[in-house]
């Protein structure tokens, strides 16, 4: 069971349905008297009865096995493991384990009472109760499956040791099941139904508790540990409380997702009105975090990424804002559950950042794009209440209001080339190129190519905007008087008058000057794995 259950509600429901399906199918075949299965049951039962009658010593052996491997033995083992997990402060795993055991105890009795299937006529030992399903097989399967989830999630357990425990437990499932058939107290289909019921229980409870079977815990070596022992990885979570709706539910969900992957309780840091994340990022660095998750708008993400530049600490962006530009360009899903899953199961990727400064602007960095002119005016003019209600489409309202935004004369200097002058509506310098709705503003931009991409948009009249938009949407490389593109490592923009400016979709106020320079591989980003 080494898979990655989906994080959406539909995906979780589908996983539970698929987990219950084998039990449903086997039950329908058994009580629909499907001839091949019925013949198999009767044939194996007859042979087991005949062989056992001729080999009494073997029957004695299987009776001893059955007496040791009763369902209560498996439940006792689960209780012991649960006590150990509680001692290790793995509260979630403890409760899940006990819930699975309780579900097995109850559901086996319910199934037996509902179907009331008689046991084989040639039983070699006296046994009471109904035949379907095998309680021994179900309990053994739940034990094996539960330990298969628990052991990989307990930090400090080496893989070899886990295998030394898991493999014998799997063998126990087969031995217990063979015992039921050899003593002719259960049909083969009773055992198969027991396994399938155990699978259904484990699937439903695992999904319900948000566990991921077969997940190995990440471990790191601390500087103070010279004896070969390891400590659990640390995570810091930087949250903009205004952008994250249900803060309590969000905290619970993230904490649980980190816990099942072996992380210590995360360091929670909330941004303030006077600090979008700089001080919080520094606290995460001092905490020696192995991973920093940032949940907020584009401004929060930009500030945190800037502060974590060149530290090597992976940054995972959980989209919670209006634009979510960096998340979109790194292919991080916008759904919270899906994003969390893909980030925590993801890979580290070195991406570029861009150093920027200008008039009335301290030295800063951005990860997506900077611009002056119309695009910054649209961002500045989007009504906050509309952004909260309808998301990024609020920018369309602002775009309609600013369609006649005046052009401005701008001097553009790329690397050491001679400056060029253009009368433009907007100039955008980008590290990546996708806007909301997958609009490819800078189609050739890549976050790790060590280059800046520049687009100069300069329609003279409103009627020329369709030509510009067509060129953008078709990703044309043709340069014309309305749409030009350039690349370089350093770009300076000088406007003739004060104009609106923006960094990563965050307005920074009017000014005349912006200087940008690429910082190759400055940020380690946690991104989804390639598919």
List pLDDT tens digits, range 37-50: 999 999 999 998 89
Q: Is the pLDDT of residue 403 over 90?
A: no
Tell me what pLDDT residue 4 has. Answer: 40
Check residues 162 and 330 and name the one with the higher pLDDT.
330
Tell me what pLDDT residue 385 has. Answer: 61
Q: Is the pLDDT of residue 401 over 50?
A: yes
Average pLDDT rounded to a whole number, residues 367-389: 76
Parse the chain into domains and list their residue ranges: 9-209, 235-358, 364-519
CB atoms within 10 A of CB 228: 6
Using DSSP's 3-state secondary structure scheme, residue 256 falls into helix
Q: Return the closest-CA partner of residue 472 out of 503, 438, 496, 518.
A: 438
Helix then strand then coil, % of the chain, to nearest 5: 45, 20, 30
Tell me what pLDDT residue 266 has. Answer: 93
Distance CA 145, CA 213 (A): 9
Phi, psi of 468 (to 5 degrees): -65, -45
Query: Residues of the chain with pLDDT > 70: what percent?
Result: 81
Q: Is the pLDDT of residue 156 over 60?
A: no
Tell me what pLDDT residue 236 has. Answer: 95
Q: Is 394 left (phi over 0), alpha (psi -120 to 50) or beta?
A: alpha
Q: Is the pLDDT of residue 527 over 70?
A: yes
Residues 6+ apart with CB under 8 A from 391: 322
CB atoms within 10 A of CB 173: 24
Residues 6+ apart with CB under 8 A from 430: 368, 369, 370, 441, 442, 445, 452, 453, 454, 455
Tokens of 294: 């940032």
Query: Residues of the chain with pLDDT > 90: what percent?
Result: 44
Distance CA 496, CA 492 (A): 13
CA distances from residue 373 to 48, 161, 380, 510 in whole angstroms, order as listed = 85, 62, 11, 9
Could you report how far apart the first and last alpha carbons of the chain are, in Å? Answer: 20
CB atoms within 10 A of CB 164: 10
Average pLDDT rounded to a whole number, residues 313-333: 88
Q: Domain 364-519, what fold?
A: Tumour Suppressor Smad4 (2.60.200)
Phi, psi of 37 (to 5 degrees): -70, -40
Name residue 372's beta-bridge partners: 427, 501
Average pLDDT rounded to a whole number, residues 470-496: 79
Average pLDDT rounded to a whole number, residues 177-202: 92
| CATH value of 235-358 in 3.60.110.10, 2.60.120.260, 3.40.50.10330, 3.40.50.2000 | 3.40.50.10330
CB atoms within 10 A of CB 168: 11
Tell me what pLDDT residue 167 has. Answer: 78
Tell me what pLDDT residue 216 has. Answer: 37
Q: Is 475 left (phi over 0), alpha (psi -120 to 50) or beta?
A: left
Check residues 430 and 210 and name the one with the higher pLDDT.
430
Tokens of 503: 């960094």
């Amino acid at each position: 069971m080494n898979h990655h259950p989906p994080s959406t509600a539909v995906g979780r429901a589908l996983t539970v349905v698929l987990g219950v399906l084998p039990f449903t199918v086997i039950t329908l075949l058994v009580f629909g008297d499907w001839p091949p299965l019925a013949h198999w049951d009767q044939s194996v039962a007859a042979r087991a009865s005949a062989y056992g009658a001729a080999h009494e010593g073997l029957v004695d052996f299987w009776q001893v096995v059955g007496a040791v491997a009763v369902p209560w033995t498996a439940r006792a083992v689960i209780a012991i493991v649960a006590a150990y997990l509680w001692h290790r402060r793995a509260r979630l795993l403890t409760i899940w384990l006990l819930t699975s055991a309780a579900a097995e105890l109850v559901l086996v009795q319910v199934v037996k009472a509902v179907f009331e299937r008689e046991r084989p006529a040639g039983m070699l030992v006296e046994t009471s109760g109904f035949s379907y399903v095998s309680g021994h097989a179900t309990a053994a399967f739940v034990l094996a499956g539960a330990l298969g989830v628990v052991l990989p999630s307990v930090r400090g357990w080496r893989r070899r040791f886990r295998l030394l425990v898991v493999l014998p437990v799997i063998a126990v499932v087969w031995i217990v099941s063979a015992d039921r058939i050899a003593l002719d107290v259960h049909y083969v289909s009773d055992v198969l139904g027991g396994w399938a019921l155990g699978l259904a229980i484990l699937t439903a409870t695992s999904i319900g508790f948000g566990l991921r079977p077969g997940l190995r815990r990440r471990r790191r070596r601390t500087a103070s540990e010279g004896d070969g022992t390891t400590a659990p990885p640390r995570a810091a979570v930087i949250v903009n409380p205004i952008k994250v709706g249900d803060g309590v539910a969000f905290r619970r969900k993230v904490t649980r997702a980190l816990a099942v992957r072996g992380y210590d309780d995360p360091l929670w840091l909330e941004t303030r009105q006077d600090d979008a994340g700089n001080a919080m990022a520094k606290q995460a660095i001092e905490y020696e975090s192995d991973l920093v998750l940032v949940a907020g708008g584009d401004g929060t993400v930009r500030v945190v990424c800037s502060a974590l530049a060149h530290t090597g600490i992976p940054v995972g962006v959980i989209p919670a804002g209006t634009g979510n530009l960096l998340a979109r360009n790194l292919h991080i899903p916008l759904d919270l559950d899906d994003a969390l899953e893909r980030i925590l199961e993801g890979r580290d990727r070195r991406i570029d950042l861009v150093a920027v400064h200008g008039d009335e602007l301290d030295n800063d960095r951005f990860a997506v794009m900077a611009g002056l002119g119309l695009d910054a005016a649209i961002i500045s003019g989007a009504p906050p209440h509309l952004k909260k209600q309808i998301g990024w489409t609020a920018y369309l309202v602002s775009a309609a209001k600013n369609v006649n935004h005046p052009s401005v004369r701008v001097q553009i200097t790329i690397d050491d080339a001679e400056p060029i002058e253009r009368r433009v509506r907007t100039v955008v310098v980008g590290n990546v190129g996708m806007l909301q709705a997958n609009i490819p503003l800078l189609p050739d931009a890549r976050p790790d190519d060590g280059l800046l991409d520049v687009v100069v948009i300069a329609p003279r009249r409103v009627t020329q905007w369709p030509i510009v938009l067509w060129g953008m949407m078709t990703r044309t490389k043709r340069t014309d008087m309305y749409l030009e593109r350039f690349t370089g490592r350093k770009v300076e923009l000088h406007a003739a008058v004060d104009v609106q400016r923006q960094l990563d979709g965050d307005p920074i106020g009017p000014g005349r000057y912006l200087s940008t320079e690429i910082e190759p591989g400055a940020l380690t980003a946690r991104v989804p794995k390639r598919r």
